[in-house]
Structures are given as structure tokens and as C-alpha cells.
Homo-oligomer: A and B are copies of this chain.
Amino acid sequence: MNRFRRSRVNILSLLCVAISFAFIQLAVAQESTTPNHRVRLVIHGGAGTITKASMTAEKEKQYYEKLTEALEAGYAVLQKHGTSLDAVETVIRILEDSPLFNAGKGAVFTHEGTNELDASIMDGKTLRAGAVAAVKHVKNPIGLARLVMEKSPHVMLVGDGAEAFGKSQGVEMVPQEYFFTQRRWDQLQTAIEKEKQDSIKKVKGTPADSAEGRHGTVGCVALDEYGNLAAGTSTGGTTNKRFGRVGDSPIIGAGTYANNATCAVSCTGDGEYFIRAVAAHSVSMLMESSGMTVQKAAEKAIETIGRIHGTGGLIALDKNGNFTMPFNTEGMYRGYIDENGKPMVKIYKE
């Protein structure tokens, strides 16, 4: 009887130890930051009238190289256990610093011959977001958008106020001359000349007046090893824009959206149409409410843009690493890191 009692006590003790061990394991697992997701990175450098015929070999090479450089830099962040937000910012800073894209250094000119930049970023984990619009002296608007998200209680800051916030945060400021590139200046002159010729025929400043230089917005979506999605977009807007025009890029829901429950999205194209369609958010909602795949939802969003006569494209990445890059233009600068960790860049239709 005594032996029986002892063995029962032993069994109970063992059970207690086992349960405690299980709880400790559970706690460790919850605190763990062990990678349990494939990292993913997808980028774009704008959609538009981009055809093989309109491209020189030299220009094509420059785009391939810069998009590859951005992809590799962003992927390196993710591989070193960085966050999707860090990867998105890293990628967009590289594209902003290149004169090839209509963002940062390569921003197009306004009607007045100035450069006014917009950008936004969103964190899929917390749904926090930051955006800046109509800034003129900020070297990397994407960095400022991130500071708005992380160092202010706000989501969107515009104009001089946004710049004052940037200065208070030690953001790198540049004179307007920094944004001068001959190519963009020539595009403005062409647009103004075309507008003069068209002035009798139609309303000034319609998007169709400045087809050249309308596109070139840059964007990035990423999924990090912690399973967190992020999205960012940066642009110089449209050539010959007037009146403090702001497009979809700094509008959360229109040009940029990220939500761990669904996907991360960055858009490029006729900003006005992407705002009216609330394009980026619609991809997320179509996944959430209709149970569509990211591919199907993104295609439907681009269809909607087409139906209201807008053009452009988007990149969308879901929480499981599935992604898509639909567009209804002739081409879209775009790229991703493939299954083997190699950067893949595309420009034209498949």
C-alpha cells in the first residue's frame, strides 16, 4: 500500500514536471523570434508607356541595374533579420536617390518649375502609417513619412509644416537645385508647349496633357521573417502639375496600404483614379471580405481603375508570401526576389 502510494506520488510529480515543462516551452515559443516565414520583397519603379521600341539598350541596362541594386539591398535587410519596414525604406531610398525614377532626385517638375514630393509608408502589423505631401527640400520623403509614423501622433503632414517637422527630426534637407535633372526639365518644357497647342481644344492640365513623365512613382512591399507586412510609395507627382496637386502616393488606402491580415500594396499610375477607386485598400478588402486571392483581388482593382478610364499598376504581397504585379499600361518597372534569393527585374509585358 505504501509502495503503491509512493508510486502514485511519483507519477503525479512527473506529471506536474511534464506540465510545467510544456508551459515553459510554450512561453519560450511565444517569445521566440525564430524565423517562421519566408521573407519576400517586391518593388516597382512606375507603370506607363514603356515599350521595347522606346527604350535604348543603355537606358534599359540602367533600369535593370538600379532595380537589381534596390532589390539586393532590401533583401539583405530581410536576411539580416531586419523588419519589412526597414526593407521598404531601404529600397525606396535607393530609388529616390537615382535620377531614373520620378521620386526623390529624379522627381518631375511642377508647372512653376519647382519639385514637390509625396510619400507614404504603412506597417501591416499595427496599421500605423505615415505620409508627407508637397515637400520641396526633403532628400528622402520616404524617410520623413516613416518619422511621421513613428515620431509623431499624426499620419499625414503637408507642405512647409511637414518640412519643419523633418528639420526637428534631423532629416537631410536639400536645396531645390538638388532635384534638377535635364531630362525632367525638358519634359516640363514639352508639356507646357503641348498644353499651349492644346489649349483651344481642351481643359488645361488634364492628365492626358502630360503623358510623358506622368509615371515613374516608386514603391515596395515586403514580408519579413516575423510575418509582418509593410508597404511604401514615393513620387514626384506629375510633370507640369499645378495648384498643390497631390496624387494617390501619400494617401493611405489609395496609393499605399498594408495589413498583416491580408496584404501589402503599393500603386503607380494616374493618381486621381487610384484615389477615386481607393485602390490599395480595395485589394485588402476584396481579400478579407470576398476571400479572393491576392492575385484575383489585385486584378479586380486594376480592372476598376480601367473601368473609370485610369491607367497604372500595382504590386501586392499577401501574408503567405504570394504576390502579383498587374498593370494595364504598356510596361511597368518591377522586380522581386525569387525562390532562390535571386533578384528578378521586368519592364515590359510578359
Contacts and interface: CB of A to CB of B under 8 A. Distances in A.
Interface string A90-111: 0000000000000000000000
Interface in A250-277: 251-254, 257, 271-272, 275-277
Nearest to A110: B161
A229 to B, nearest CB: 14
A257 B243 contact: no
A191 B127 CA distance: 27
Given A134-B159, A159-B244, A253-B281, A206 B153 contact: yes
A246 interface: yes
A308 B277 CA distance: 24
A337 interface: no
Contacts of A275: 129, 155-156, 252-253
B158 A276 contact: no
A152 interface: yes
Interface stretch (A39-47, A67-75, A284-292, A314-322): A284-292
Contact of A253 (B244, B245, B247, B278): B278
A47 to B, nearest CB: 19
A133 to B, nearest CB: 6
Interface in A144-158: 152-158
A12 B184 CA distance: 70
Interface in A281-319: 281-282, 285-286, 288-290, 308
A203 interface: yes
Contacts of A82: none
A19 interface: no
A165 B164 CA distance: 25
A242 B127 contact: no
A interface residue count range (under 10 / 10 to 19 / 20 to 34 / 35 or more): 35 or more
Interface of A is mostly: mixed
A45 to B, nearest CB: 23
> Which of A165, A253, A281 has the most B CB atoms < 10 Å from its CB?
A253
A26 B82 CA distance: 64
Interface string A195-207: 0000000010111
Q: Quick one: copies of this chain in the complex?
A: 2
Contacts of A117: none
Contacts of A277: 127
Contacts of A128: 276
Contacts of A282: 281, 285
A65 interface: no
Contact of A158 (B154, B159, B285, B308): B159
Contact of A278 (B134, B158, B252): B252
Contacts of A153: 203, 205-207, 272
A289 B152 CA distance: 34
A162 interface: yes
A193 interface: no
Given A122-B276, A161-B244, A253-B253, 18 more contacts: A127-B277, A128-B276, A133-B246, A134-B159, A153-B203, A154-B245, A154-B272, A155-B271, A155-B272, A157-B244, A158-B159, A158-B244, A161-B243, A162-B244, A164-B242, A165-B242, A252-B276, A290-B290
